[in-house]
């Protein structure tokens, strides 16, 4: 049975290595280092789930989320925002734009696995 595919989006290699370590044995992982590359990869690869950082250069996570929700190919892909900045206003904006859930950094392994499993099942 083919593994589900997760697109990991973060400008920090440390976080990408961490997320790959947590998820790599259960799922196939793709990576992107900013919002623009994330959008291109998502349109091309159509992953089953996206883990998106917010603060990134070139195109941040919120803009990337907005762009993905405007595209037919990507508008239904579950997107979990992974961020250090979880102010109420920002959280509300993300939910209004259509994000599926939030994970705060530093990432808790059990929370990450639980939420990923929830959206991939």
Partner 1 sequence: MDKQPKDKSDLLIRLFEDGKNFTQELLRENERLRLLVAAQKTDSDIKKKTEDTLPENLARLELENRRYKEELEQLRQTLTDVEAENKEFAHKYVSVEQQNTSLANLYVASYRLHSTLDYKEVINVIKEIVINLIGSEMFGIFLKDEKLNELKMVTHEGLDGKKIAPISIGMGVVGQAAEKGESYFSDKKGAGDEPIACIPLKIQSQLLGVIVIYQLLRQKDGFSAVDFDLFSLMADHAATAIYCSQLHTLSERKLSTMQNLLELLKTEK
- Which residues would be at the binding site for partner 1 (CB under 8 A)? 12-15, 17-18, 21-22, 84, 86, 104-110
The phi, psi pair for 78, rounded to 5°, reads: -65, 135
Please identify, using beta-carbon distances, which residue of 17 and 59 lies nearer to partner 1.
17
In the complex, least distance from residue 46 CB atom to partner 1, rounded to whole angstroms: 28
In the complex, least distance from residue 104 CB atom to partner 1, rounded to whole angstroms: 4
Please identify, using beta-carbon distances, which residue of 67 and 112 lies nearer to partner 1.
112
Residue 110, CA distances (Å) to 15, 17, 37, 103 in order: 16, 17, 28, 11
Question: In 65-109, at which residue ranges do the beta strands (DSSP E only) sit?
Answer: 79-83, 101-104
Please identify, using beta-carbon distances, which residue of 12 and 71 lies nearer to partner 1.
12
In the complex, least distance from residue 17 CB atom to partner 1, rounded to whole angstroms: 5
Tell me if 39 sits within 8 A of 68, measured CB to CB.
yes
Angle between helices 61-69 and 88-97 (to 10 degrees): 20
In the complex, least distance from residue 22 CB atom to partner 1, rounded to whole angstroms: 7
């Amino acid at each position: 049975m083919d593994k589900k595919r997760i697109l990991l989006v973060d400008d920090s290699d440390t976080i990408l290595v961490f997320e790959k370590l947590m998820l790599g044995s259960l799922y196939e992982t793709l990576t992107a280092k900013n919002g623009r590359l994330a959008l291109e990869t998502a349109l091309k690869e159509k992953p089953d789930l996206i883990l998106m950082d917010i603060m990134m250069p070139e195109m941040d996570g919120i803009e990337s989320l907005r762009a993905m929700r405007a595209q037919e190919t990507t508008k239904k892909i579950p997107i979990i925002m992974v961020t250090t900045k979880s102010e109420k206003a920002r959280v509300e904006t993300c939910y209004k734009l259509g994000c599926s859930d939030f994970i705060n950094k530093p990432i808790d392994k059990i929370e990450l696995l639980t939420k990923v499993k929830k959206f991939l099942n």
